[in-house]
Amino acid sequence: MKILAIETSCDETGVCLLTIDGTHPNTSVTVEANELATQIEDHQEYGGVFPSLAKRLHGENLPVLLEKILKTTSTTAISQIPEAKKEIIRGWLKRYPDLPDKLFDIFTTHGLPDINAVSVTVGPGLEPALWVGINVARAIALALDVPVIPINHMEGHLISTLVDDDITDGHSHNLKKIDFPAVALLVSGGHTELIKLEGWQSYEKIGQTRDDAAGEAFDKIGRLLDLPYPAGPHVSTLAQKARDLELESPDAFNLPRPMLGSDDLDFSFSGLKTDAARKIKAEGPLADRERQQFARELEDVIVDILVQKTSRAVKSCNAKDLLVGGGVSANTQLRQRLKTIKKDVSVHLSPLSLAGDNAVMIGLAAGGHYESGVTAESEISADSRLSL
Ligand code: KG4
Ligand code: ZN
């Protein structure tokens, strides 16, 4: 089966073409082409993602990425798109006056690949951003008379943990096999959740943040340290400098570990920000070395909380496999600490190339929904708070 996948839930525009052989999850996957355009620099002056800018940039990026993919993969010529279909597509994309004709031009110039479906992220995410991807997915699907498979972004992060590091090398790779029940820790800019998997598509949320997500805590507190958006990776780099220099954090920088000892599997990171803001203010402008110490403390605290709750979840579910995905799963400390969580638990981390948002994970997740999850394109809509 061949799938064209689209991701536009936040500030990365992704398009990819995958071939999936076999029946989910006993499949092998070949990434035929993969394109990603990041908007990070465009949002930096706002200190976070600016939704209407994200939407506009997705609308600009999608045809560019699609064209790149069509230029490098085999396609079947499309002589003409019937006027009736063009009208429907124009209706879907009425907020983007140039986009329909750009797409029609790309379709007829390069042809379209022989795909079985188009998969697209429908949530959670920024609603205006999601809609651009959905409408372009519908346009391609209608032009080819293939179905659209709506995908939950978090399922994408979850399934991205089952592929090899070199998944995008153009060769075929088997999806890793896991035993159930398994536990997944999904940590991104908007989500921090622990999921119990009883089987494929049988997901139970057993823990989640009650306020801010772990990535949000990195980003918001990192901003207080004058780090650019998204601050997570910059906090991590500063923290590593403190470790390399063997700089312990002074007591004045000690941050709380909210809910660390609570018996549930929930998280809370918003108090951390309040406390960090107070401490940074009290210390006055921080010198370079103090910023490194503060970053180290922040990273240690967030990683401690994530590791402790995940370890508890693995034990309480008696899980043999732990899956860890989402942007924050790129964090080196978190990866190292989780790898040794428990002797008899296999830990599957998203490859670094797929830890952040991308379209490959959306295509991979679609492999599991092809039989059951095909939806009429008119019924597909964005759901910014979609739950797994
Ligand atoms: O999954 P993702 O790319 O986008 C969302 O779906 O939100 O996650 C983005 C989040 C941001 O908060 C970013 O700061 C964080 O992942 N992040 C990191 C690291 N790399 C990305 N946080 C800590 N350490 C990192 N190395
Ligand atoms: Zn994400």
Protein residue with its CA nearest to atom 2 in ligand 1: 327
DSSP assigned state of 373: -
Amino acid identity of residue 146, one-letter, is: V
Residue 318 has pLDDT above 70, yes or no: yes
Q: What is the pLDDT of residue 26?
A: 86
Determine the 3-state secondary structure of 371 from DSSP: coil
For a substitution probing ligand 1, which of 130, 160, 218, 361 has the most ligand atoms within 8 Å of its CB?
A: 218
Residue the block writes with tokens 């042809």:
111
> Which atom from ligand 1 is nearest to the alpha carbon of 356?
3
pLDDT tens figures, 267-284: 999 999 999 999 999 998
Supply the pTM of this predicted model: 0.97
Q: Which residues line ligand 1 (CB under 6 A)?
A: 10, 188-190, 215, 218-219, 230-233, 236, 326-328, 330-331, 356-357
One-letter amino acid for residue 377 of the chain: E
DSSP structure string for 156-198: HHHHGGGS-TTTTSSSEEEPPP--SSEEEEEE-SS-EEEEEEE
Structure tokens at 92: 């879907």
Q: How many CB atoms lie within 10 A of CB 337?
A: 18
Those residues with Cβ within 8 angstroms of residue 340's Cβ, 6 or more apart along the chain or in another chain: none
Sheet hosting strand 12-23, strand order edge to edge: 148-152, 117-123, 2-7, 12-23, 26-38, 172-174
Q: Which ligand is nearest to the CA of 326?
A: 1
Q: What digits encode the pLDDT tens for the residues 64-102?
A: 999 999 999 999 999 899 999 999 999 999 999 999 999
What's the CA-to-centroid distance between 155 and ligand 2, angstroms? Answer: 10
Nearest residue (CA) to ligand 1, atom 22: 232
Helices (H), the chain: 40-44, 51-72, 83-92, 99-110, 127-144, 153-159, 214-224, 232-244, 270-283, 288-317, 332-339, 352-355, 360-366
Question: What integer pLDDT is reported at residue 79 of this predicted model?
Answer: 85
113: which 2 tokens? 């690949």
pLDDT given for residue 10 in this prediction: 97
Residue 51 has pLDDT above 90, yes or no: yes
> Which protein residue has the closest C-alpha to ligand 1 atom 13?
232
**Cα–ligand 2 centroid distance for 298 (angstroms):** 21
Q: Among 5-9, 56-60, 131-135, 367-371, which stretch is predicted with the lowest mean pLDDT?
A: 367-371
Q: Which is nearest to 1 in space by CA: 147, 117, 151?
A: 117
- Which residues have beta carbons under 5 A from ligand 2 (an ion)? 188, 357
Q: What is the DSSP letter of 24?
A: T
Strand partners, 346: 321
pLDDT in tens, 236-270: 999 999 999 999 888 999 999 999 989 999 999 99
Give the atom of ligand 1 at the shortest distance from the alpha carbon of 326: 1
Q: What is the mean pLDDT of residues 95-116?
A: 96
Could you tell me what percent of the chain has a pLDDT over 90? 89
First to last CA, the chain: 24
Q: What is the dihedral of CA 242, 246, 251, 256, to 10 degrees?
A: 60
Ligand 1 atom with minimal separation from the 302 CA:
23
Q: pLDDT-derived band of residue 375, with 50, 70 and 90 as boundaries?
A: low
Strand, helix or coil at 44? Answer: helix
| Pairing mode, strands 346-349 and 2-7 | unpaired
- pLDDT recorded at residue 376: 66
Amino acid, single-letter form, for residue 387: S
Question: Which ligand lies nearest to the CA atom of residue 48 in the structure?
Answer: 1
State the chain's mean pLDDT as an integer: 95
- Model confidence band, residue 369 (pLDDT cutoffs 50, 70, 90): confident
pLDDT band at 373 (very low <50, low <70, confident <90, very high): low
Pocket test for ligand 1, best of 186, 188, 235 (most atoms within 8 A of CB): 188
Nearest residue (by CA) to ligand 1, atom 14, is 232
Rg (CA), the chain: 22
CB–CB of 219/236 below 8 Å? no
| Spatial distance between the Cα atoms of 19 and 337, rounded to a whole number of angstroms | 34
374 band by pLDDT with thresholds 50, 70 and 90: low
